[in-house]
């Protein structure tokens, strides 16, 4: 359903946008705008076989009356050209407060959570989108009505009846974070299986991860003590002597698999629209399909050459059993319930999904004790603007500690908004925006956010594929170079020994 709406809007947008602009020039009042636009919506529905649930006009709620209600979209009309360019103006603030009251009022009347509703202020020339997330208001800046913003408006309006859950952080928290009792059970299964099989290659993967994690957070599990009672209580772990690092490794394993599944489905959706990686997974051959996910074959098939290059979190494939099969199956089934077209409808939220869900996998107190903090979007946006980067001059941006990719996503968005030639965006972005991080989980997260940021260009990938320029490395401590008369090499210490990499190999194009 969502894919059909997407394709339909792409094909009809120009026609109805032109029709609206022609009518708009004759509109002189708020009521004229409401009548004209609602008539246009009805016409689009009739001519294209679209049905909007619960279409109501002048709908009374607690402390107010909604101009138009389309399912879960609240539309508040204003007199033509009333809105200013800034939401700080009195006119904008008053209109926004009115919609906020409507959202809270309809929550009370219909007994639905306020985060399900989208508020829209519309004066024919500008649009303001308003949502409530985690008890905080998310108010977008006014956007001028043009072909692109009109298309987004129609997509959001006609998608009120889409099947499946919206891929937004509120829903993901309920299904995939530690607030879910099912997730707690699955995490305990992963931890139990890891402890039972902590030998051989699995132990080597764990010990190497442990070395990296110490460097990432500056925390020595063996010599320092940390208050872990909250963590043990959260996961209902009776053994107070359990190794904290093993608990965190199990959590990272769960999160890494979740991110890979999310990334694969996102990539498949934006490449093909009507295809689904998750739906193609065979429950009778789950281990085989997940192995192809973990070894990167799924991503290479869709044109991403380097999403998975071998990491620490696929250890569970070496001890696959019925319990692990069930945990993996649970993840796949839950993600299948989601409608990935939501990424199109809420691009601002899409880039925050990865960062926010991780915040709920570990208690905040523990994350901060481990030195884990994330850059807020407003600060990243401020710094990018202050840098005054002109990407048209072939400059490159490198974030040497990119985390989940906040700076990368904002830089990519800057390229998209400042360069009008969209045919060159894909190559421009991957040649201009690069990230490095020492945390293997952060690298997986940043690559997924990079894919989401590239969403509208993914179908331009040719048969050679592309590399996502996010790399697992220590940007502060480079490998030592050793020179002798006969050879020169870099020394790379690992848990299994020291690897000597010839300088000639590194410097070869």
Q: Decide if pLDDT at 406 tops 60.
A: yes
d(CA 197, CA 131): 46
d(CA 83, CA 353): 31
Q: Are residues 43 and 134 in the same domain?
A: yes
Is residue 361 assigned to a domain?
A: yes
Tokens (6 digits) for 420: 């009008």
d(CA 262, CA 336): 10
Is residue 176 assigned to a domain?
A: no
Q: Are residues 296 and 381 in the same domain?
A: yes
Q: Are residues 464 and 355 in the same domain?
A: yes
- Supply the pLDDT for residue 253: 95
Q: What are the strands of the beta sheet with 497-502, ordered from one edge?
A: 480-483, 488-494, 497-502
Residue 275 half-sphere exposure, CB side, CA atoms within 13 Å?
14
Strongest mean pLDDT among 49-53, 120-124, 164-168, 348-352: 120-124
Q: Are residues 262 and 359 in the same domain?
A: yes
Query: By CB neighbour count within 10 A (0-12 exposed, 13-18 middle, 19+ buried), where does 413 fall?
Result: middle
Q: What's the farthest any 2 CA atoms get from each other in the chain? A: 86
Q: Are residues 200 and 336 in the same domain?
A: yes
- CB contact at 8 A, 488 and 503: yes
d(CA 35, CA 33): 6
d(CA 299, CA 261): 11
Determine the average pLDDT of the residues in 372-401. 85
Determine the average pLDDT of the residues in 265-273. 83
- CB contact at 8 A, 168 and 349: yes
Q: Are residues 440 and 366 in the same domain?
A: yes
Q: How many domains does the chain have?
A: 3
- Supply the pLDDT for residue 273: 66
Which of the two residues, 363 and 223, has the higher pLDDT score?
Answer: 363
d(CA 450, CA 405): 7
- Supply the pLDDT for residue 466: 94
Q: Decide if pLDDT at 62 tops 70.
A: no
Tokens (6 digits) for 212: 């990296």
- CB contact at 8 A, 121 and 104: no
Residues 6+ apart with CB under 8 A from 268: 275, 276, 277, 302
Determine the average pLDDT of the residues in 150-171. 73
Q: Are residues 457 and 484 in the same domain?
A: no
Among 103-112, 375-384, 428-437, 452-461, which stretch is predicted with the lowest mean pLDDT?
Answer: 103-112
Which of the two residues, 346 and 99, has the higher pLDDT score?
Answer: 99
Of 134, 163, 192, the last residue of a domain is 163
- Supply the pLDDT for residue 118: 84
Is residue 347 assigned to a domain?
A: yes
- CB contact at 8 A, 465 and 474: no
- Supply the pLDDT for residue 298: 93
Is residue 170 assigned to a domain?
A: no
Is residue 172 assigned to a domain?
A: no
The band of 444, judged by pLDDT with boundaries at 50, 70 and 90, is very high
Residue 105 half-sphere exposure, CB side, CA atoms within 13 Å?
17
| Mean pLDDT of the chain, nearest integer | 82
Q: Are residues 226 and 360 in the same domain?
A: yes
Residues 6+ apart with CB under 8 A from 475: 400, 401, 436, 438
DSSP 39-104: HHHHHHHHHHT---TTEEEEEEETTEEEEEEETTEEEEE--TT---SSTTSHHHHHHHHHHHHHHH
Residues 6+ apart with CB under 8 A from 349: 133, 168, 169
Instruction: Please report where in the chains the tokens 């020994």 appear, as a residue.
Output: 497
Which of the two residues, 235 and 87, has the higher pLDDT score?
Answer: 87
Tokens (6 digits) for 425: 């965006």
Q: Are residues 391 and 490 in the same domain?
A: no
Give the percent of the chain with pLDDT over 70.
80
Determine the average pLDDT of the residues in 174-203. 90
Q: Tell me which residue of 116, 155, 139 sits closest to 16, measured CA to CA.
A: 155
Q: Are residues 159 and 206 in the same domain?
A: no
Which of the two residues, 475 and 187, has the higher pLDDT score?
Answer: 187
The band of 219, judged by pLDDT with boundaries at 50, 70 and 90, is low
- Supply the pLDDT for residue 390: 84
CATH code, 55: 3.90.1570
Is residue 174 assigned to a domain?
A: no
Q: Tell me which residue of 193, 203, 197, 183 sits closest to 324, measured CA to CA.
A: 193
- CB contact at 8 A, 347 and 138: no
Among 39-48, 157-166, 177-186, 425-434, which stretch is predicted with the lowest mean pLDDT?
Answer: 157-166
DSSP state of 134: T
Number of H helices, E strands in the chain: 22, 15
d(CA 386, CA 395): 15
Taken in order 196, 202, 207, 210, the sign of the CA dihedral is: negative
Q: Are residues 136 and 236 in the same domain?
A: no
Q: What is the pLDDT of residues 289-313, one digit of tens each?
A: 999 999 999 999 999 999 987 789 9
Q: Are residues 290 and 357 in the same domain?
A: yes
Q: Decide if pLDDT at 350 tops 80.
A: no
DSSP 7-45: HHHHHHHHHHHHHHHHHHTT--SHHHHHHHHHHHHHHHH
The band of 236, judged by pLDDT with boundaries at 50, 70 and 90, is confident
The parent domain of residue 90 ranges over 2-163
Q: What is the pLDDT of residues 64-96, one digit of tens each?
A: 566 777 777 888 999 999 999 999 999 999 999
Pairing of strands 136-139, 55-61: unpaired
Is residue 421 assigned to a domain?
A: yes
Is residue 358 assigned to a domain?
A: yes
> How many C-beta neighbours within 10 Å does residue 446 have?
29
Q: Decide if pLDDT at 335 tops 60.
A: yes
The band of 257, judged by pLDDT with boundaries at 50, 70 and 90, is very high
- CB contact at 8 A, 344 and 154: no
């Amino acid at each position: 359903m969502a894919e059909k709406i997407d394709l339909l809007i792409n094909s009809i947008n120009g026609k109805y946008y032109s029709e609206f602009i022609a009518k708009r020039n004759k509109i002189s009042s708020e009521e004229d705008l409401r009548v004209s636009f609602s008539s246009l919506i009805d016409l689009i529905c009739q001519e294209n076989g679209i049905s909007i649930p619960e279409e109501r006009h002048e709908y009374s709620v607690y402390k107010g009356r909604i101009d138009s209600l389309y399912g879960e979209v609240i539309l508040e009309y204003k007199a033509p050209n009333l809105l200013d360019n800034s939401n700080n103006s009195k006119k904008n603030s008053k209109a926004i407060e009115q919609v906020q009251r409507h959202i809270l009022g309809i929550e009370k009347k219909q007994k639905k959570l306020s985060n399900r509703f989208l508020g829209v202020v519309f004066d024919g020339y500008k649009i303001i989108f308003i949502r409530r997330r985690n008890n905080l208001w998310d108010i977008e800046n006014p956007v001028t009505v043009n072909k692109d913003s009109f298309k987004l408006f129609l997509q959001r309006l006609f998608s009120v009846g889409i099947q499946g859950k919206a891929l937004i952080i509120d829903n993901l928290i309920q299904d995939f974070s530690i607030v879910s009792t099912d997730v707690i059970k699955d995490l305990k299964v992963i931890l139990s299986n890891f402890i039972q099989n902590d030998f051989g290659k699995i132990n080597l993967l764990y010990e190497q991860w442990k070395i990296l994690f110490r460097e990432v957070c500056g925390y020595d599990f063996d010599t320092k003590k940390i208050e872990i009672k909250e963590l043990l209580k959260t996961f209902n772990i009776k053994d107070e002597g359990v190794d904290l690092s093993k608990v965190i490794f199990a959590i990272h394993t769960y999160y890494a698999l979740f991110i890979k599944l999310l990334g694969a489905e996102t990539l498949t959706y934006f490449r093909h629209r009507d295809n689904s990686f998750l739906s193609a997974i065979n429950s009778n051959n789950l281990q085989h399909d997940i192995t192809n996910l973990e070894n990167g074959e799924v991503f290479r098939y869709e044109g991403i050459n380097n999403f998975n290059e071998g990491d620490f979190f696929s250890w569970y494939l070496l001890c696959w059993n019925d319990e692990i099969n069930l945990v993996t199956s649970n993840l796949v089934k839950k993600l299948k319930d989601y409608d990935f077209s939501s990424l199109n409808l809420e691009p601002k939220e899409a880039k925050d999904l990865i960062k926010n869900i991780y915040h709920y996998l570990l208690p905040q107190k523990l994350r901060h004790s481990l030195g884990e903090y994330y850059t807020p979007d407003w600060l990243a946006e401020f710094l990018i603007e202050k840098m005054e980067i002109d990407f048209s001059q072939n400059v490159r941006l490198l974030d040497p500690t990119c985390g989940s990719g906040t700076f990368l996503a904002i830089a990519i968005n800057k390229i998209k908004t400042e360069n009008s030639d969209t045919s060159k965006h894909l190559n421009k972005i991957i040649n201009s925006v690069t990230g490095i991080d020492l945390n293997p989980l952060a690298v997986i997260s940043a690559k997924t956010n990079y894919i989401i940021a590239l969403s509208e260009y993914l179908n331009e990938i040719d048969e050679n594929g592309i590399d996502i320029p996010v790399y697992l490395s220590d940007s502060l401590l480079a490998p030592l170079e050793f020179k002798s008369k006969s050879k020169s090499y870099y020394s790379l210490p690992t848990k299994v020994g020291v690897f000597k990499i010839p300088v000639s190999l590194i410097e070869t194009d």
